[in-house]
Amino acid sequence: MEKILDRFLRYVSVDTQSNEESESQPSTEKQLVLLKMLRDELLALGVEATLDEYGYVMGSIPSNAGDGIPAVGFIAHVDTAPDASGKDVKPQIVENYDGSDIALKGVPGLFLKPAEFPELLHFKGQTLITTDGTTLLGADDKAGVAEIMNAVQYIMEHPEFKHGPIKIGFTPDEEIGRGVVKFDVKRFGAEYAYTMDGGEIGELEFENFNAASAKIHIQGCNVHPGYAKGKMKNAILIGQEFNAMLPVMARPEYTEGYEGFFHLISFKGTVEEADFAYIIRDHNRSKFEYRKEMIQKVADFINSKYGEGTVTLVLKDQYYNMREQVEPHYHIIEKAVKAMEAEGIKAKIQPIRGGTDGANLSFKGLPCPNIFAGGLNFHGKMEFIPLESLEAASRVILGIIRLFAE
C-alpha cells in the first residue's frame, strides 16, 4: 500500500483553490486536475468510478458480506480556501515533535509557536506536517481525501475485510459554499454518509450554523466638499453607521459555542458609493431568522434617514443546521463513537462553528455528520496536521464500515 503520508503530500502538491467570483462549476479548472487523478486512482484499484460534468467523483464498492446492509458513504472536498494561496505548497515534516517553536522556513522569522497555539502540545512525540509559511497546507480537506483513499486501498487489497456497499464521493467548491449544490444524492446511492472534514482528532459533529449572506450597496451623493453642506451623502460614513447599528458583542471575535454572529467580511467604497458584505450565523433557527430581520431593519432605518434607495440589501440563505435531519438517525453517530473508541480515541461531540457539505446533503435526504480529518489552523499559513491523526481517521473509516457490516 502507498503510505498515507506520501498520498497526502501528493494531493497537497496540486493547487485546487476555489474562486467565489466564478460562475462555473467547478469554479476553477485546476480542481479537475485532482478530481481526475482521484477517479483514475479509484479505477486503478478496481473501484467503479465516474467524474461528471459538475466535478463530482463518485465511486462504488459492492458488498462482500451479503444483502441487507445499508450503503454507507464517505465524502471529502478537494478545493482549498480562497483565504490563502494553495499553489506550490512546500510541507515541512517535523518528526518526534518536542514541544518547541517550529520555524516555518519559507518566511524568515516566522514560527508556529505553542505560546500562540497551545494545542500543539497535545501532539508532543508525534510527526507534524506543517506549511513553510508561504501558503496554506491544504489539510482542509485533502487530509479527508487521503484518509478515504487509504481506506479504499486497504479494502480493495484485503478481500477478507467484510463490508456492505460503500460509496465514495469527492466534491469541488466546498470552501465557497457550493460544494454539493448539484450533487445527485440518488445517483450516489448511500443511505447514510460521513464527511471527513472536521478538525482535531476526535471531533464528531452533527450540528452546524444556520447560514446566510448579506450584500449591501450604498448609493451616496458626491458633491465638491467646499459646497457640500446639506447635499453630500458620504457612502463610506453611511456604511460605518450601518455597521455601528449592529450589536458589537455579536461579532465572531466575541462569540463561542452556540453563540451566533454578524461578520463583516468585505468593505470597499468611495464617497459616491460603497459595497460591503456580511455572513450571518446562528445554530438556533429562530435566532437566525431574528438576525436577518435585524439587518433588514437597519437597512430600512438608513433608507428612512437618507432617502429610499440609499441602501440595497440582498439576503441569501446558504445552509441550515443539519441536527434536525441527523438526530432521527442517531445510530450513525453511535457507530462513529464506537469506531473511535475502538482506536482509543475519545469522541468530542460538539457543534460546528461553520458548515460542511454534510449540512446541505442532510437536507437533500442523506443524513451526513462530520468526522475529524485531523488538521488544525485551517485556511492559513499556520495550518498543520499530525501524521498520527491522518492514520487514525482512516482506521475510523474502516471501523464504521465494519460496524455497518455487523
- Over the stretch 277-336, which tens digit does the pLDDT of each residue have? 999 999 999 999 999 999 999 999 999 999 999 999 999 998 899 999 999 999 999 999
> Do 248 and 371 belong to one domain?
no
- CATH number of the structural domain spanning residue 83: 3.40.630.10
Are 88 and 237 part of one and the same domain? Answer: no
pLDDT at res. 340: 98
Catalytic residue among 15, 41, 173, 174: 174
102/1: higher pLDDT: 102
Residue finishing a domain among 287, 316, 345: 316
Q: Which of 316, 345, 370 is the last residue of a domain?
A: 316
- Average pLDDT (85-114) is 97
Catalytically annotated residue among 15, 79, 132, 357: 79
Cα–Cα distance between 322 and 363 in angstroms, integer? Answer: 7
Q: Are residues 199 and 216 in the same domain?
A: no
Which residues is 317 bridged to in the sheet? 212
Residues 221 and 364 in one domain: no
- Could you tell me if 137 and 283 lie in one domain? no
pLDDT at residue 389 is higher than 90: yes
The span from the CA of 30 to the CA of 18, in Å, is: 9
Are 11 and 26 contained in the same domain?
yes
What 3-state class would DSSP assign to 237? Answer: helix
What the block records as the C-alpha cell of 210 is 444556520
- Is residue 29 located within the same domain as residue 104? yes
pLDDT greater than 80 at residue 355: no
Place of cell 454534510: 358
| Residue ranges in 215-261 assigned as alpha helix (H) | 235-244
Radius of gyration of the chain (CA): 23
Query: Letter for the amino acid at 226?
Result: G
Rounded to the nearest integer, the mean pLDDT of the chain is: 96
CATH number for 309 = 3.30.70.360
Q: Note the pLDDT of residue 245.
A: 98
Give the DSSP H/E element, type plus range, for residue 335.
helix 331-342
10 shares its domain with 123: yes
Average pLDDT on 95-117 reads 98
Give catalytic status of residue 2 as yes or no: no
Q: Tally the domains of the chain.
A: 2
> Over the stretch 166-180, which tens digit does the pLDDT of each residue have?
999 999 999 998 899
- CA–CA dist 406, 402 (Å, integer): 6
pLDDT band at residue 366 using 50, 70 and 90 as cut-offs: very high
Residue 353: its pLDDT value, please? 87
Q: Is 184 a catalytic residue?
A: no
Query: Do 110 and 26 share a structural domain?
Result: yes
Q: 362 and 246, same structural domain?
A: no
Same domain, 67 and 144: yes
Give buried/exposed letters for 252-263 (b at 16+ CB in 10 A, else e): beebeeebbbbb
Which range marks the domain in which residue 242 is found? 210-316
What does the CA dihedral 362, 363, 366, 371 come to, rounded to 10 degrees? -10
Q: What pLDDT, on the 0 to 100 scale, is given for residue 347?
A: 97
Sequential DSSP letters for 65-114: S-SSPPPEEEEEE--B-TTS--SS---EEE-S--SS-EE-TTSTT-EE-T
Q: Which of 316, 348, 379 is the last residue of a domain?
A: 316
